[in-house]
Amino acid sequence: MDDSCEGNESLGEGSCSGAEDQEKAPENMITCAERSLPLRDLYPYIRCGLCNGFFIDATTITECLHTFCKSCIVKHFFCSNRCPNCSIVVHQTQPLYNIRPDRLLQDIVYKTVPYLEEVERAQIYAFYKERGLPIPKPAAPSMLPIKLLKQKQRDYMPQSVFTIPPELDVSLMLDFVGAEEGIENYKPLERKYIRVSGEATIRHVELFIRRKMELSPNLKVDVVCGEHLLEQCQSLREVQSTVGENALQDGMLVLQFGLVLPTQ
């Protein structure tokens, strides 16, 4: 009797522990389910706002950090110099200069969307093959061993496809010397070094500073080169020729500016 009771007790303990495991199992399943995320929830982050498809050659505008397919944004800049999302002026004359490939985001898209990369490469391969054109290396099926491919990848140094347009012939360094006492609520100037046309005036520089620092219209921006307080109508080429070598530092035209309260 004692043995049977002990057996029943041990069986009861086993059944209780099994019941507890069954009770815990749904909790674990719920936890796993919470970690998964439907692909459609990621659409706002991995789809192009121009073609409404998944990013292909994801390319980001440096001025506002909005991203599009490379072919989409290049076509857009043929007829406009503004961002399709926020309408900011990307560049007055050469908007293609202010875009950069976003390889990290493109890798995320390829890993998130099943077979997207394979389908894209197959389409590129078929396009060039049907027309009898040389097939680009990324789209062509490779017959090299994986180790050799990895070695070539390490040895490969990508070159930038962006060149500085000849009309952007003046390099500027904008040196913020400070604000008058009582002036607050302005953003720091993140882009200290810029390249612009020599035909641009001090007024253009002031507008650039106002937009980037989000200044109040009531504030005054004084721009100085060397010991000369510059007029808004002066062009940068004129300033550079007037002040001479004293205005240059490492080949850049140095402009100092400060924020001043309006005179009453």
Half-sphere exposure of 97 (CA within 13 A, CB side): 15
Looking at the structure, tell me whether residues 173 and 255 fall in a common domain. Answer: yes
In 3D space, the residue among 161, 162, 218, 164 whose CA is nearest the CA of residue 186 turns out to be: 218
> Which of 77, 108, 131 is where one domain is finished?
131
**Digits of tens for pLDDT over the chain (264 positions)?**
455 444 444 444 444 444 444 445 454 444 444 566 777 888 889 999 999 999 999 999 998 999 999 999 999 999 899 999 999 999 988 899 999 999 999 999 988 888 888 888 888 888 888 888 887 766 555 444 445 544 554 554 344 434 556 666 788 889 998 888 888 888 888 878 888 888 889 999 999 998 888 888 888 999 999 888 899 899 988 888 888 777 788 788 899 999 988 876
C-beta of residue 73 within 8 angstroms of C-beta of residue 53: no
Q: Which domain holds residue 117?
A: 42-131
Read off the CATH number of the domain in which 180 is found: 3.10.20.90
In a domain, 197, yes or no: yes
Read off the CATH number of the domain in which 112 is found: 3.30.40.10
In a domain, 20, yes or no: no
In a domain, 192, yes or no: yes
Looking at the structure, tell me whether residues 191 and 115 fall in a common domain. Answer: no
In a domain, 30, yes or no: no
In a domain, 255, yes or no: yes
Looking at the structure, tell me whether residues 116 and 174 fall in a common domain. Answer: no
Please state the domain count of the chain: 2
One-letter identity of residue 231: E
In a domain, 234, yes or no: yes
In a domain, 227, yes or no: yes
> Which of 106, 131, 156 is where one domain is finished?
131
Distance in angstroms (rounded) separating the CA atoms of residues 41 and 16: 41
Q: Residue length, the chain?
A: 264
Q: What is the pTM of this model?
A: 0.42
In a domain, 66, yes or no: yes
> Which of 84, 101, 131 is where one domain is finished?
131
Looking at the structure, tell me whether residues 175 and 111 fall in a common domain. Answer: no
Looking at the structure, tell me whether residues 247 and 178 fall in a common domain. Answer: yes
Residue appearing with tokens 């930038």: 160
